[in-house]
Amino acid sequence: MRAVPNFKMNQAAIDEGIEKAEKENDWEYLEDAAGSLMSLTRDMDVLGEKWWDYVPNEIARKFGVNLSKAQQMAANIAWTLGEAWKDDEILRERITGPIDEQELMKYLESHE
């Protein structure tokens, strides 16, 4: 597994980038680390889907679930930044996840 050291190096760079962003508000290091990770995944494109044959089923399933969540979150962020939501569309449970009515009531003003 020649790629493992590269993945570990990228993980360390990402961890350091997150730390610098949180402590020093320096996002450049994290941006560079993300670019390196994107380059690494591009190198895997020549394998197509064959590399999944080497991943245990449970890990592949978790990856799929987490990827789906991340894609939904990214789409929600893009829609929010683009001010693309229509009226109260953002309150739909398919977007927000389950809504706890009692929890929501804590945030309403007395006149609402």
What are the angstrom distances between the C-alpha of 2 and each of 5, 7, 33, 57, 81? 7, 10, 19, 21, 39
C-alpha 107 chain-centroid distance: 27
Reported pTM: 0.45
State mean pLDDT over 64-75: 88
* 12-49 confidence digits (pLDDT tens): 888 888 888 888 888 787 777 777 767 666 666 666 67
Domain boundaries, the chain: 1-54, 56-112
The CA distance from 76 to 78, in Å, is: 5
User: Is pLDDT of 88 > 70?
Assistant: yes
* Rounded distance between C-alpha atoms, residue 78 and residue 83, angstroms: 8
Taking the C-alpha atoms of residue 107 and residue 85, their distance in angstroms, rounded to an integer, is: 21
